[in-house]
Amino acid sequence: MNTFPSQKSYELVVFFLRRHWLVLFFIYFGFTIMTLFGLILFYLANDFFSLQRNNLYLAEFLLSLYILSVWYFLFKTLTDFYLDTWIVTDHRILEIHQLGLFKRDISELRLSKIQDVTVKVEGLLPTFFNYGTVIVQTAAEIPEFKFEQIPYPQQVKDKILQLYDQFIKSHPSDQEIHEL
């Protein structure tokens, strides 16, 4: 059941995309290292300085504050990861970009505005795990849409170009730009 709030009755969802799972793994790994760093630093400071009871309470408070900050940024990052979404339909492309906990940008691109579609796969892991960035250049106010770190970028690009061709053939009056 691929639907979304502003979906038109005649639209068919082709792709509902999020970032590749490996990106999430690196987020978890980084935050695990940061949490362990704080815990190790606390116990080393406790052993090295043999903290008095009052100083121990202060150190525990600072450690708690540090871990709370790490967890807050983890939650914020996971929210950004999960809510950054790209929706490709047979008529348009929507980009939902989460900017923090309470702000998001939603951009829309009609298929007739597409000028070029490019794929970028840079690095060993993106090549090995087949994820990358798809850049859709437009003739609209927003010069390009970026599908960042998505799985199977070449297939997404091919399908967008196929949808563009189908849309132009079925809606010749909407063709405002040159053919790809």
Q: Give tens-digit pLDDT for 78-92.
A: 999 999 999 999 999
Same domain for 101 and 57: no
Mean predicted lDDT score pLDDT of the chain? 86
- Asked, for residue 46, whether it belongs to a domain, the answer is yes
Given CA atoms 124, 116, 94, 6 in this order, what sign does their dihedral have? negative
From 4-13, 32-41, 52-61, the region with the lowest mean pLDDT: 52-61
Distance CA 83, CA 66 (A): 26
The pLDDT, as a whole number, for residue 33 is 94
Same domain for 111 and 37: no
From 23-27, 54-58, 125-129, 141-145, the region with the lowest mean pLDDT: 54-58
CATH number at residue 116: 2.30.29
The pLDDT, as a whole number, for residue 174 is 59
Do residues 24 and 81 lie in contact, with contact meaning Cβ atoms separated by under 8 Å? yes
- Asked, for residue 149, whether it belongs to a domain, the answer is yes
The pLDDT, as a whole number, for residue 180 is 46
Phi/psi class of residue 152: alpha, beta or left (left: φ > 0; alpha: ψ in -120 to 50)? left
Can you tell me whether residue 7 is helix, strand or coil? coil
Same domain for 134 and 148: yes
- Asked, for residue 53, whether it belongs to a domain, the answer is yes
Cβ-based neighbour number of residue 156 at 10 Å: 22
Same domain for 133 and 111: yes
Q: 132-164: per-residue pLDDT in tens? A: 999 999 877 778 889 999 999 999 999 999 999
Same domain for 96 and 160: yes
Q: What single string gives the DSSP state of each residue in 100-159?
A: SSS-EEEEEEEGGGEEEEEEE--SHHHHHHTEEEEEEEESSSS-EEEEEEEE-HHHHHHH
Which residues contact residue 54 at a Cβ distance below 8 angstroms, ignoring those fewer than 6 apart? none
Residue 101, domain extent? 13-19+86-171
- Asked which of 54, 80, 106 is the last residue of a domain, the reply is 80
Distance CA 53, CA 18 (A): 49
The pLDDT, as a whole number, for residue 53 is 65
**Residue 101, Cα to own-chain centre: how many angstroms?**
14
Domain tally for the chain? 2
The pLDDT, as a whole number, for residue 49 is 67
**131-138 and 13-17 beta bridge pairing:** unpaired
The pLDDT, as a whole number, for residue 69 is 93
Highest mean pLDDT: which range of 40-49, 155-164, 170-179? 155-164
- Asked, for residue 30, whether it belongs to a domain, the answer is yes
Question: Taking residues 32-48, what's their average pLDDT?
Answer: 84
Position 7 pLDDT exceeds 50: yes
Position 120 pLDDT exceeds 80: yes
- Asked which of 40, 60, 80 is the last residue of a domain, the reply is 80
